[in-house]
Structure 1
Amino acid sequence: MGKGIGDAVIRPLKNALDDMPVHVRQLSEMFRKHGQKQNRNTDGVTDLDGTNVPDALRDGWRRDTDWTPNDVVDAGWGDRPQPGEYLDADYIDQHLARFDDGASRIYFSDALHTYGPGQRDHATFAFPTSELQKILDDTGGDAHAVADALGIDAKYFHIDNDLNLPLKDVEIRHFAPEELTNLRLPSGNESGANENWLPGGYLPTGIPEAVIDVPETATGYGPNFDGDYNPGMWPGTANSLGLHL
Structure 2
Amino acid sequence: MKKSLMYLWLLVLLGASSWSCKDDDKTPESYKLEDSWLPGWTSQKVLDIAKGQRPDPSVYLDQKYIVYHLGEFANGAAYLVTKKALDDYGRDTLGYPDNTQFVMPKSEMDALLAKTNKDISKIEKELGIPAGSWTGKEMVKIEIQDPKALRLRMPSGNEMGANSLWLPGGQLPTGYPEAVINKIPKGKYTETPL
Give matches, 1:104-115, under 5 Å.
Answer: 104-115=78-89
- Aligned to 1:99, the other structure's residue is in SS state coil
Q: Is the 8 A contact 1:105 1:126 kept in 2?
A: yes
Corresponding residue of 2:119? 142
Distance 1:179 1:110 in 2: 27
Match for 1:57 among 22, 28, 33? 33
- Aligned to 2:133, the other structure's residue is in SS state helix
1:68 aligns with 2:42: yes
1:185 aligns with 2:161: no
Q: Which has the larger radius of gyration?
A: 1
Corresponding residue of 1:123? 100
1:153 aligns with 2:127: no
Q: Per-residue deviation at 1:234?
A: 4.8
Match for 1:171 among 110, 126, 140? 140
Distance 2:42 2:111 in 1: 32
Q: Deviations over 1:93-115 (max 9, x none)?
A: 00000000000010111112322
- Normalised by the length of structure 1, the TM-score is 0.63
CA 1:169/1:188 → structure 2, altered by over 3 Å: closer, same or farther? same
Distance 1:100 1:190 in 2: 22
- Aligned to 1:155, the other structure's residue is in SS state coil
Gaps of 5+ in 1: 1-53, 159-166, 219-232
Larger helix fraction of residues: 1
Which amino acid in the other structure matches residue 134 of structure 2? F
- Aligned to 1:171, the other structure's residue is in SS state strand
- Aligned to 1:95, the other structure's residue is in SS state helix
- Aligned to 1:157, the other structure's residue is in SS state coil
Distance 1:205 1:182 in 2: 25
Give matches, 1:37-48, under 5 Å.
Answer: none
Q: Is the 8 A contact 1:179 1:235 kept in 2?
A: no
Distance 1:130 1:180 in 2: 18
**What is the CA RMSD across the aligned residues, in angstroms?**
1.7
Distance 2:60 2:105 in 1: 23
Q: Is the 8 A contact 1:143 1:154 kept in 2?
A: no
Distance 2:148 2:70 in 1: 14
- May I ask how many residue pairs the two structures share in their alignment? 162
Give matches, 1:76-91, under 5 Å.
Answer: 76-91=50-65
Distance 1:153 1:178 in 2: 27
